[in-house]
Structure 1
């Protein structure tokens, strides 16, 4: 059992790791854009906001097993195959991007409007506000959102094992279910539970640490830092 479980764990972490990276890179700007283009946003554009929102909603509503089948042609074009851990990364990442984008949108909306207005009064542009206020101030929530995405992707990767993607889900199906090795299936379930618990603990710890550090600094030091880093002399 040990060689099988070791390789399956590595395959699962490989798929989830790359999928999370792609989801963060694609979902973070998408979520911020949903906030900026909303009513009252810095880049208010109702039409663009509705179009982006509908695309995100449609992508989120599609069951993952259907998404894998629908993307087989695209997956083959990207990776040259539809089987294996590299092929599984494509639907995992595409499915996670809109999921993470909505979490980012929720996190960014929690940022205090007073900080945004303060940077605007100093002459900061939209990019400065995003880089110096929206993302740093929402970082604890973004860490929690990333943790939630990773946990969801572990579940998706187990589902991807049903179509030969490898990983712990593949072990549970091929050996635990199809070969009636019930003990191995429950061991796989236990390994998944341990992996998820460790990731959740690490994510919660990092989010709490960032939140405490941000709370100790307070708004006044942050505003002074923003004032010194904003390229304008109109503040005052």
Structure 2
């Protein structure tokens, strides 16, 4: 591997990891509460409110319907307002987080819906308040599924960073487009693909291992 290729890959990899970590944290901060609200406001649940549930669900569906490359362009003015520029990895975090949050909210919703409603009803029957039911019953019971769901979201965000590279976000996606495709460097294109595959496989392995560990600990204490 040539020295210039190694340097380019290292820079692109670091920028991608930077975008993935910050975007995931920001998307979790936005999407996790949204997913909880979607479940809790359903009919018969702890914070029943069909109107809020419908409005929130419709809003999430509208945002999710945007192709990601278009959503990035639409959110560029917001990125400029927040970070002062529309170029670079930091600017890309804004559309990445906002674009990923609805997707993550739906993942969280589906994970929480896997919790037996009988356990929620039992907690309601003994007078537990909604916050206690959410934090002490729903989230702990759904934790392995939540870990797997968040792992899926991280992998999706990694793919989104490659798309963001097309508009100057940096990272491995930008490297593949600017140096691999535009300059006909097949070695860079191939190396970028290999690094992305290894990155995704590493994230998947880590998420699966953590979910299995949580399950083992749960059965051990049970």
Aligned to 1:154: 158
Shift of 1:81: 0.4
Give the alignment of 1:1-236 within 5 angstroms. Answer: 1-218=5-222
TM (norm. structure 1) is 0.90
Residue 216 of structure 1: how far off its partner (Å): 3.5
Deviation at 1:213, TM superposition (A): 2.1
Once the two structures are superposed, what CA deviation does each residue of 1:149-190 show, in whole Å capped at 9, x if it has no partner?
110011100111111110001110111011100111111000
**CA offset digits 1:81-123 (Å, max 9, x no partner):** 0000001000100011000000000010111222222222332
Unaligned runs of 5+ in 2: none
| Total equivalences in the alignment | 218
Shift of 1:199: 0.5
- Residue deviations 1:120-165 (CA, integer Å, cap 9, x gap): 2332100110110111111111101110011001110011111111
TM-score normalized by the length of structure 2: 0.95
Residues in 2 aligned to 1:116 and 1:38: alpha-carbon distance in whole angstroms: 13
For the aligned residue pairs, the C-alpha RMSD in angstroms reads 1.0
Match of 1:223 in 2: none
Runs of 4+ in 1 over 4 A off after TM superposition: none
Question: How far does the alpha carbon of each residue in 1:18-49 deviate from its partner, in whole angstroms, 9 at most, with x for none?
Answer: 00001111111110100111111111111111
Where do 5+ consecutive residues of structure 1 fail to align? 219-236
SS in 1 for 2:39: helix
Offset, 1:5: 0.7
Aligned-partner SS, 1:82: coil
